[in-house]
Structure 1
Amino acid sequence: MTADSTTGPSLDPLTDRRGGFSMVALDQRESLRAMMAPVMSGPVGDESLVEFKTLATAILSPRASAVLLDRAYGLPAAAARAPGCGLVLAADVLQQEPGGPVVGATLDEGVTAELAAQLRPDALKMLVPWTPATRSGAVDLAERFMRLCRTLGLPGIVEGVVRPPDISSWSDADRDAAIVRAAEDLAVVGPTLYKAEVPGYGASPAEAITATARRITEVLDCPWVVLSSGVAAERFAAAVQACRQGGASGFLAGRAVWADAVTAPDPAEFLRTESLRRLDALDAVGVSTP
C-alpha cells in the first residue's frame, strides 16, 4: 500500500522520490543517554543529547525523506534539517529504566496546538507498547493519540511494539504472531501510517520475514514501515528488503543507521561515512523492491 492510498492528511511530505518512506528516527531519549554513557567522563547531560541529535540531523537529513524528533531534546535539531526533509514529532512520554527497554508510554501533553503551529510538523508519532495482557489499554492509548492528530489536522504514525515481561522466553514464531496481532488490534484506530518491528529480529530467513510482513499488510488499511530496534545494522537492509516484498512501504529507522556513531572516536565522521553508506544501501533496496 502506498502513501497516496490513505485518507485524511497527506503523507506526501514524508515520502521519498519513489513515494515510499526513507525516514530516520532521532527521538531516542533516555536510551540515547545510556548509549552515550560509556564514552563520557561523567553524567551525560541534556546538552549532549541535543548536540548529537542536531549533528545527526544535519548530516543525515539530506538522504532522508523525514526525520523523527522529540520535544524534550530534539527541537533544536528541527532547524538543522535539509530542505525537503519532512518532520515527524514524537508525541509520547516513554517509561523505561536507565539503559533498559521501553515498558510503558503516555501521551505527551506538551504536544499542543501552539507547539504544532510553531514547529509545523508533517506528522506525529506515538509508541504504543502492546502485550497480550494489555491489548485494550494499547488500543485506548492509540485512539487518544489519533484523536490528538485529528484535532491538529496531522497524520498519525502509530508504532506498535511487543513488550511482554517474558519476551526473552518467546520463540521467534511467538513474537512474529504477536507483531501481527498488535498491528491488527491497533489498526482499529485508523492510523495514517503504521510502524512495526522487523519479524525475527531480521535474523530469520528472508522468506519467513516476507511471509510475516504479508500478514501485517493484510490486517492494515494503511501503509506501514519498519523500525530497526533489535536488528543488527548489517542485517537491516536485507530485512527491509524482505519486508518490502511483503508489502511494507519503507522504514523509519534509528539505531541501525547511526547507533555506532555515538561511541565512535569521531561521531561526525562516522555519520558522514558509515551512516550515509547505510542509508544508501537502504535506498538501493527501495529501487529493487515494490
Structure 2
Amino acid sequence: MTRMTTAELRGYQQICGPDGAMMVIACDQRGGMRSLLASEPDEQAKIGNDVLGNTKADITRYLASKASCVLVDPICAVPHLVNDGVIARDTALLIGLDASGWETSPEGYRLSTLVPDITARKVRELGATGGKIMVYLRSDRPDANTRNIATLHRCIEDFAKEDLLLVVEFLTYRLEGESAEEYAAKLPELITEGCRMSLGCGAKLLKIPYPGSPEACAAVTKISADVPWAVLSAGVDHETFLSQVEIAMMNGASGVIAGRSLWKDCISLDREITRHKLETIAVKRLREIQAVIARYQNGGKTKAA
C-alpha cells in the first residue's frame, strides 16, 4: 500500500477538521444541481454557469465555512471563490476533475470523462489543497473498466509528479438488463472490490458509496489498511445518511465527503431563500453529522511515507 508523501499528508490534514476526520462539503455537481434548481429541462438549460457559481459560492460561504473543506468544480466555482474572498482562509479547497455526465461504450458501459486541461498543475494554480477524480467501476466486468482504469492511472501519476493530494472516488452502476434486486445483491462486493481496484492503481485517499452493511464497511477498512476512506451521501435523505455515517465511522471510515443530502432541498434561484435554508436547515444537518463523526473518529489513520 502506497503511503502519502509529506506534502500529500499536509493536504490531507488540511481537509480534515481539528479532530482529524474529514468533513468535506461537496458541491462539484453541474447537471445534478441544475435539476434541483429547475424541474423542467428547458428551464434547466437556461441556468448558466454564473448561476451555478453563485449557488456554489453560497454553499461555500454559509455551509462549508463550518466544515473543514469544500469540493467544487473548475468550471463554475474557481478561481472566484478564492479571488473574491468567498472561501474562508481556514477552509480547504478540493477541485473535481471529472466532467458532468459520462459517455457510453457500445457494450453499454459508462466511460468517465474529465474536464479538459485541468491538470494537477492547474489545480495548484487555482489555489486548491488538492483534486478529486471520479471514475465508474464494475469490478465484476473487467472489460467495462479498461478505459476508466487508464484514466485513473494517468491522474494519479500526474498528481504524484506535482506531489499534490488526490481524492479517488468511484461509483458503481446498474448494467442494461440488470434488475434492481440483482444489482443490490452485488453492491457490497462491487464497492469492496472497487476499493481494491482503486488502491491497485495507487489511490491514497478514497471517497466511496456507502458499502451497504457494517460487515462491508469493515471489509473496506481491512482492504484499505492505512489508506483513509470517506463515505459519500449519494443524495439519500438526511436521516438515512446519518445512519450510514454512524455505521461507516464505527467500522473504520475516516470521515465524510457529502453534498446533496445536506443541501439538495436548500438551494434556490432566489439567493435569499438559499442563504436562509443553508443557515437554518443545512447547517443543522452538518452539526448532526459532525456529532456522529466525533463519537467514532480515530484521529486519522494515515502516515507519510
Tell me the TM-score normalized by structure 2: 0.83
Aligned position for 2:161: 151
Q: Does the aligned pair in 2 maintain the 1:50–1:73 contact within 8 Å? A: yes
* Structure 1 unpaired stretches of 5+: 201-208
Within 5 A, what are the aligned runs for 1:205-284?
209-221=213-225, 222-263=227-268, 266-284=273-291
Look up the SS of the partner of 1:187 in the other structure: helix
Q: Distance in 2 between matches of 1:283 and 1:62?
A: 13
Confirm or deny that 1:180 pairs with 2:192: yes
Q: Does the aligned pair in 1 maintain the 2:112–2:148 contact within 8 Å? A: no
Q: Distance in 2 between matches of 1:230 and 1:96?
A: 18
Cα separation, partners in 2 of 1:96 and 1:190, compared to 1, 3 Å = closer
Confirm or deny that 1:122 pairs with 2:126: no
Cα separation, partners in 2 of 1:15 and 1:190, compared to 1, 3 Å = same
Q: Distance in 1 between matches of 2:41 and 2:116?
A: 32
Q: Which one scores higher on RCO, CA 8 angstroms, separation ≥ 6? A: 2
Q: Which amino acid aligns with 1:147?
A: E
Aligned identity (percent) is: 24
Tell me by how many angstroms 1:62 deviates: 2.0
Tell me by how many angstroms 1:146 deviates: 0.4
Tell me by how many angstroms 1:12 deviates: 0.9
Q: Distance in 1 between matches of 2:3 and 2:203?
A: 9
Confirm or deny that 1:7 pairs with 2:4: yes
Q: Does the aligned pair in 2 maintain the 1:258–1:275 contact within 8 Å? A: yes
Aligned position for 1:203: none
Deviates more, 1:58-67 or 1:162-171: 162-171
Q: Which amino acid aligns with 1:118?
A: E
Kindly tell me the number of residue pairs found equivalent between the two proteins: 274
Aligned position for 2:182: 170
Cα separation, partners in 2 of 1:39 and 1:251, compared to 1, 3 Å = same
Confirm or deny that 1:16 pairs with 2:37: no
Confirm or deny that 1:53 pairs with 2:90: no
Q: Distance in 1 between matches of 2:275 and 2:58?
A: 7
Q: Does the aligned pair in 2 maintain the 1:25–1:68 contact within 8 Å? A: yes
The structure 1 residue matched to 2:210, chosen from 175, 198, 201, is: 198
Deviations 1:129-172 (A, max 9, x none): 01233233332221111012112221111101102323634353
